[in-house]
Structure formats: structure tokens, C-alpha cells
Amino acid sequence: MIQNTMVQPLDGLKVIDVSSFLAGPFCSTQLAEFGADVIKIEMPKIGDALRRFGSITPEGDSLPWLSECRNKKSATLDLRTPEGAELLKALVKDADVLVENFQPGTLEKWGLGWDVMKEVNPRLIMVRISGYGQTGPYSPRPGFGRIGNAFGGLSYLAGYPDRPPVTPGSATIPDYLAGLYGALGVLLCIQALQKTGKGQYIDIGLYEPIFRILDEIAPSYHMRGYVRERMGPGTVNVVPHSHYPTKDDKWIAIACTSDKIFERLAQAMGRPEVAGEGKWGKVKDRCDDREAVDTFVSDWTSQHTRDELISICEEFQVPCGPVYSIDEIFEDPQYKARDNIVYMKDSHGREHAVPNVVPRLSETPGGIKSLGPSLGEHNDEVFRNRLGLSPERIEELKQKGVI
């Protein structure tokens, strides 16, 4: 178990997470990894859908659940019932943050929208993640990560120009990015709260973080009407900046983002005459002759193994790296040196490998205390210790299906 016993940045921060699947839960996980006390609210008997998504352990837990809902307490509560809604309000009254990712209008339908919650707790920070955000003509539509990739503009760019758009690595990229932006929003709101004394809500559509990271795609279209198309592994505006084959049937990534770096690559290749004052010495020259430049580099990389190429590029200070599969990641010394993979046991004693905490803080680092909890594992702690309900009342609520 990797557990940080030092002071953590978010010690004392109380978070209630009523979200499901990935975007909202990942947001609260970021907070939990740095000390926040997170209670994950789930439907009685059913739980979060993430529990049943992905590879399932023999004990019935999904790997995404164990990894992405770590450091949390699980309590069951049916928010659709009047009693469940009142219990959530009681929890929120003493909380700092509420995280949700229902379709807009769902919490309002249950009498748990922002207008209600800010009255319950004027200092509350509420994270609201949905497919298209809380406003606009598309706000009522359901959304998942794949839709965020597509609507945000990333899917259109993924793949080759003569083939259909493909999944850009993972359909869940928008969920993770939205979760990260949600956690960032919480930290910003904490700072604002100290200045104003007022809480506020954070509104994120899944597509918005995707659109935000597409570098110059928006200003380029506005300035010159340029619609970027799919380029395979290539990169707009620079070349060579792609993935290239190696002699041992692997791939290497090489990134020449300037004329100076290309000059160093040309020297490494033993062809310095093509750089500098040569035919490909300027970015524009290379971009105008993109296919020939990439072929030129591919012919060279195909004559060497991947390890040889990395050694040569390092000698000439050319940015490069292996295009890794997950089995290679597990064996890489850099990953091992930085403990990027952590081995943790779940509540059944089964060991799992999960990504370590990011970012890495020198004085108040985050940590992993536990993997995703069992459904309702902390009901007594939450309802008895935090809300002061009697054992009899808790049993009554269980019989009603409220918890």
C-alpha cells in the first residue's frame, strides 16, 4: 500500500461525489489523491456503472473502478427518493465540494439543483460535468467520451486522409480531461472563496476540454479558412514530426520542430547537405515536400534497430522516443525509476498495477491509500458517524431501499 503520511494540500476538504462512470469520479479522485475526504454516493444494490465497465476481476470488481475510484469511501443513497434527497442535503451542509455529471436538469428534477444546494450551503463548490454543459441548445442531450471526441473536433483529425476517422487513442480522453479541468476548477474556486466568502459552480461540457487543446485549429480557420484534415501520424506545420519504422519491426517517434533540430537530424543521418542552406533547410521547404521528407527519414530509420536509433538521436540531441506498447512500458527503466506504476492490493487481497499519482509534489505529495471501495462499504461511517443517524434509523432506510 502506497500511503502518504505527510501533510497533504487538501487535508480537511470534504467532497461528496454523486457522479457516475468516469468524468466526475476522476475529478474527485484527483482531489482524494491529495488528501480530500471523498464520499462516493451510489445507487443502493446497483452502484456506479463503472463497477461493471471493462475487465472484471474474479471477485467481480472492474479494473477501471479499482483504479479510478481509489482513496474514496462508498455510501449508498437513492437520490430519487425524498428521504434520499434530504440525506444528501444533510451531507452537503457540512461539505466543501459536490461533484455531479448527470444530464442537465436531472438534479433539478429531484430538488437537488444548484439553486437548492447553494441555499443549503452558501460556501459550496459544485462541479457539474455533462455532455454539452448546462446551457445552449444541446445541453439536454446525453454525452459520453466518444461524443466529446467527435463534437470537440479531435476524432475528425484521427486517422489517415483516405480513410474514415478513427478513435483518437481512447474514447475516454474527454472524461479524463473534463475530470482534470473539474479538479482545477475546484482549486480555483477555493481561492475565490477565500476572497469572496461565496461558493460557486463549475460548468464543463465533455467536448470543451477537447476543443481547448487543439492548438491553433480555431485561430487558423478564422484567419485563413484552413480546415485541418487527417494526416495519419504526421503533424501540421512541421516535418519530419511523425512515427517511423525501424529495422526490428518497431516504431520510433521523431520530432523536428525547428530548422536547428532538423539540421542535427541530418547530421545524425550523415546527410548534412539537405539541411541549413540545402533543399530542406527551412520549415516551409520541408512542409512543401512533406512526403519526400518523411520517406527520406523512413528509409534511414529502416536501416537501424529502434535502440540504435535512440542512441544516435541522443548523441545528436534529436528528440525521439519509442512508440511503446503496454508490455514495454512495464519493462522500461524510466517508468520504474519514477514509480509510475504502483502495485496495490484490493479489499480481497488481489494485487493490481495502477498508474501513480500525478502531479509529483516535492513537499506535500499525493498518495494512494486504497483502491476503489466495495459498494456501501462506508455506510455506517457516513450515516452514523457523520450524520448521527441511529442504527434503527439506518436499518429502516435500508428496508425502504433509500440506502
Considering the candidates 17, 48, 78, 175, report the single residue annotated as catalytic: 175
- Alpha helices per DSSP H over 98-228: 106-109, 114-120, 145-152, 173-196, 207-212, 217-224
* Residue from 36, 289, 28, 26 nearest 172 by CA: 26
Q: Is 75 exposed, middle or buried (0-12, 13-18, 19+ CB in 10 A)?
A: buried
Is the distance from CB of 350 to CB of 57 less than 8 angstroms?
yes
Q: What is the pLDDT of residue 3?
A: 52
Could you tell me the CA-to-CA distances from 136 to 18, 42, 227, 234, 275 in Å, in that order? 24, 29, 25, 35, 51
Integer CA distances (angstroms), 127 to 20, 69, 97, 106, 182, in order: 13, 17, 8, 14, 6
Long-range contacts at 91-94 (CB < 8 A, ≥ 24 apart): 91/16, 91/39, 91/41, 91/382, 91/386, 91/387, 92/16, 92/117, 92/120, 92/121, 92/124, 93/120, 93/121, 94/14, 94/121, 94/386
pLDDT for residue 2: 52
Question: Is 175 an active-site residue?
Answer: yes
pLDDT of residue 1: 45
Q: Which domains does the chain have, with CATH numbers?
A: 14-212+337-400 (3.40.50.10540), 241-245+251-322 (3.30.1540.10)
CA distance 8 to 34: 6
Could you list the pLDDT tens digit for every one of the 403 residues in the chain?
A: 455 567 999 999 999 999 999 999 999 999 999 999 999 999 999 999 999 999 999 999 999 999 999 999 999 999 999 999 999 999 999 999 999 999 999 999 999 999 999 999 999 999 999 999 999 999 999 999 999 999 999 999 999 999 999 999 999 999 999 999 999 999 999 999 999 999 999 999 999 999 999 999 999 999 999 999 999 999 999 999 999 999 999 999 999 999 999 999 999 999 999 999 999 999 999 999 999 999 999 999 999 999 999 999 999 999 999 999 999 999 999 999 999 999 999 999 999 999 999 999 999 999 999 999 999 999 999 999 999 999 999 999 999 999 9
